[in-house]
Amino acid sequence: MTPTVCLIDPTGGAMAARAFVLAPRFADLRGKSLGLLDNSKSGSESILRTIAALLDDEFKWAEIVYVRKHSASLPPTPEVMETLRHRADVVITGVGD
Amino acid sequence: MKSGTPGYPSHMTTSDLRAARHDLPTTMDAIEECYRRGWTDGLPVVPPTDTKVVAMLDAVGLAPDHVLGEVAVRRRVITAERVAANAVMAGCRPEHFALVLAALDAFLEHDPNILHEVSAATNAPGWLLLVNGPVRRAIGLGCTDNLLSSADRANATIARAIRLVVMNVLESRPGVLDRGCMGSLVKAGVCFGEDEERTPWAPFHVRRGFAAAESTVTVASVQDPETLGNRYGQTAESLMESVADAMATHGLAVHFTFTGTEWFWIVGHWHAEMLARQGWTVPRMQEYVWERAWRTRAELKRLGMLRGDPEPGDDTARVLAAPRPDGIFIVKAGGDSGIYSTLFKVYIGMPATTVRVRGRG
């Protein structure tokens, strides 16, 4: 019999997937409330606000809701997510350094 | 401890393990297979065989599927078995495993997502594991000569185990989710003990509220350190001014103005001897260094560390390298062959967090 070395796989361990439903998509963005999620990097706010201003010409946002994460590489706090959920119809986010 | 851990099999065997298995003909084939699967940090690993993983779990009395924590941002569950497999690969002996678990506990108790944040950060911080208490001697952890070099098995492998857990369990691999730009030497991890036997001050963990007979590990995310070579100063003030000067310079690397910045001044043997001989206590040393480690806002703007053009008042506005005196941690360690200290800056991510090592004093 061939001697074998039995390796235990050190990778992975996925969490159980949580069921979630995507928010409904809008057919038209005109007059919607726009959320801006700043990832807390130093250039993020100016990039996001510039994008929002450029898009405003076309969509005439009802409101711009600006919120900021506490860390670029950590998820937003529940309070930040609640603000977006209650006040924004659509959200723009991204890395701005 | 074994009898008190829920789910721990009374006679654990390799059939109790849950992870996928891979059979190879020889140990050398197994080492190459670990490379092929991307499980290593570039150096060879000890093949994580079923018998070695069981021995690791046996040493701490944890069932294979015992959940140590969940890292939501990576959607991963960290189980004892997977950590044990990575500890084997790192070269740990079973008696090292309690320290690996304690270090992970510190991260998981602070914020499980921090394990991801530290590896994802572009300035490539690593982690520092400072060990106090009887466990240092029990496992032969280096506290003196060459303590920051790859010299002692316990130092090198315990720190490496954390890196491999992050790489393999969280799948934060360099170039993908590990986004270190220039990389760092500390990314491999730095683990060492305080030279408690020769420190003139109370051991670090005692100053943090633990009993001297307890074993602890203090974990922090850090940048690459700097060697401090004040060899000719004859006064404590000269030494501490050189430490403050290094902090004000070293702080330029990133985030000079980050309000959570902490520092580890690892005070070498002869520096500690002089400080103690001249009557300096830890709080007075912290205060002395803290108020001298600063740059003006004008300098930080000129050097590109702060955004914006110079404004009135920038020339006299002081920006402190350490936001508070007690965030300058003073630890006595290192050899007595030369007259040196070492300075670590704690980078954004994991602030210095001390936890007890289970089952060790």
Q: Are strands B262-267 and B341-346 parallel, antiparallel or unpaired?
A: antiparallel
Beta-carbon separation of B120 and A73 below 8 A: yes
Pick the residue with more confidence: A9 or A20? A9
Angle at B145 between CA B140 and CA B148, to 5 degrees: 85
Would you state the pLDDT for residue B117? Answer: 87
- Please give the Cα distance from B330 to B353 (Å, whole number): 15
Residue A13 has pLDDT above 90, yes or no: no
- Mean pLDDT, rounded, for B312-336: 94
Beta-carbon separation of A6 and B116 below 8 A: no
Would you state the pLDDT for residue B3? Answer: 42
**Chain B interface disruption, residue of A2, A4, A8, A40, most B CBs within 10 A:** A8
Would you state the pLDDT for residue B1? Answer: 39
Residue B4 has pLDDT above 60, yes or no: no
Would you state the pLDDT for residue B13? Answer: 87
Would you state the pLDDT for residue B360? Answer: 53
Beta-carbon separation of B169 and A8 below 8 A: no
Q: Which of A24-28, A78-82, B254-258 has the lowest mean pLDDT?
A: B254-258
Beta-carbon separation of A3 and B25 below 8 A: yes
- Mean pLDDT, rounded, for A42-57: 93
- Please give the Cα distance from B249 to B295 (Å, whole number): 8
Would you state the pLDDT for residue B218? Answer: 98
- Distance from the Cα of residue B30 to its chain's centroid: 29
pLDDT tier, A40 (very low <50, low <70, confident <90, very high otherwise): confident
Residue B252 has pLDDT above 90, yes or no: no
Q: What's the residue count for chain B?
A: 361
List all residues 6 or more positions away from A7 whose beta carbon is below 8 Å from its beta carbon.
B21, B22, B23, B24, B30, B33, B34, B47, B48, B49, B50
Answer whether B160's CB lies under 8 Å from A10's CB. Answer: no
List all residues 6 or more positions away from B87 whose beta carbon is below 8 Å from its beta carbon.
B56, B96, B97, B100, B157, B161, B164
- Mean pLDDT, rounded, for A77-94: 94
Q: Please give the share of chain B, as a percent, with pLDDT higher than 90.
A: 76
Q: What is the pLDDT of residues B139-192, one digit of tens each?
A: 999 999 999 998 899 999 999 999 999 999 999 998 888 989 999 999 999 999
Answer whether B268's CB lies under 8 Å from B339's CB. Answer: yes
Q: What is the DSSP string of chain A?
A: ----EEEEP-S--BPPPPP--PPPPPS--TTPEEEEEE-S-TTHHHHHHHHHHHHHHHH--SEEEEEE-S-TTSPPPHHHHHHHHHH-SEEEE----
Nearest to B98 by CA among B78, B110, B75, B80: B80
Burial class (CB in 10 A: 0-12, 13-18, 19+), B84: buried
Judged by a CB distance cut-off of 8 A, whether residue B104 touches chain A is no
Beta-carbon separation of A6 and B79 below 8 A: no
Nearest to B166 by CA among B184, B178, B179, B175: B178
Q: What is the pLDDT of residues B71-84, one digit of tens each?
A: 988 889 999 999 99
**Chain B interface disruption, residue of A15, A46, A73, most B CBs within 10 A:** A73
Q: Which two tokens stand for residue B185?
A: 């030497």
Q: Please give the share of chain A, as a percent, with pLDDT higher than 90.
A: 65
**Beta carbons within 10 angstroms of residue B150's beta carbon:** 13
Residue of A nearest to B111 (CA): A74
Pick the residue with more confidence: B296 or B202? B202
On average, the pLDDT of chain B sits at 92
Beta-carbon separation of A10 and B19 below 8 A: yes
Residue A18 has pLDDT above 80, yes or no: no
- Within chain B, how many helices (H) and strands (E) appear? 12, 13
Supply the DSSP symbol for B226. E
Judged by a CB distance cut-off of 8 A, whether residue B102 touches chain A is no
- Mean pLDDT, rounded, for B40-60: 97
Q: What is the DSSP string of B229-269?
A: ---S--SHHHHHHHHHHHHHHHTTSS-TT-TT-EEEEEE-H
Would you state the pLDDT for residue B2? Answer: 43
Q: How far apart, in Å, are the Cα atoms of B187 and each of A40, B119, B130, B131, B223?
A: 24, 8, 15, 18, 9
Q: Please give the share of chain B, as a percent, with pLDDT higher than 70.
A: 94
Nearest to B266 by CA among B321, B323, B190: B190
Would you state the pLDDT for residue B45? Answer: 98
Judged by a CB distance cut-off of 8 A, whether residue B254 touches chain A is no
- Please give the Cα distance from B266 to B269 (Å, whole number): 10
Q: Rg of the Cα trace of chain A? A: 20
- Please give the Cα distance from B188 to B174 (Å, whole number): 12
- Mean pLDDT, rounded, for B196-202: 98
Measure the CA dihedral B52/B53/B55/B61, to 10°. 170
Nearest to B265 by CA among B237, B291, B284, B285: B285
